[in-house]
Amino acid sequence: GAVVSQHPSWVICKSGTSVKIECRSLDFQATTMFWYRQFPKQSLMLMATSNEGSKATYEQGVEKDKFLINHASLTLSTLTVTSAHPEDSSFYICSARKFGAFYNEQFFGPGTRLTVL
């Protein structure tokens, strides 16, 4: 159990367009989901924490108007990169915390590779 999916797995878009990435917990309910960004050969950096039914909490330096996060249900969170630019090209990874989990464990999605031309 505890599978997290992301869609799409990769996307190429033109500069100025918006891209939506979906993160789903397939076999459990996730009250909290996390979005990370990973640039090549670097570590995962937390972008925001999203709780179902409430506004996301963004980390310092992350533009909330550019990276729109919606956590509309206990199994789905979406990240929309608005007016994407080449510097937004990165590997975006989501994770989900299982509702009622005792341990601080997050289940990670397979990631979405975004390339902005």
Which residues contact other proteins (rule: CB under 8 A)? Answer: 32, 34, 41-46, 49, 57, 91, 93, 95, 97, 103-108, 110-111, 113
- Closest separation in Å from C-beta 102 to other proteins: 10
What amino acid is encoded at 74 in this protein? L
**In this complex, which beta carbon is closest to other proteins, that of residue 3 or of residue 15?**
3
What 3-state class would DSSP assign to 99? coil
Token duo for residue 74 = 């206990």
- Closest separation in Å from C-beta 83 to other proteins: 25
- Closest separation in Å from C-beta 16 to other proteins: 26
Q: Do residues 98 and 27 make contact, with C-beta atoms less than 8 angstroms apart? A: no
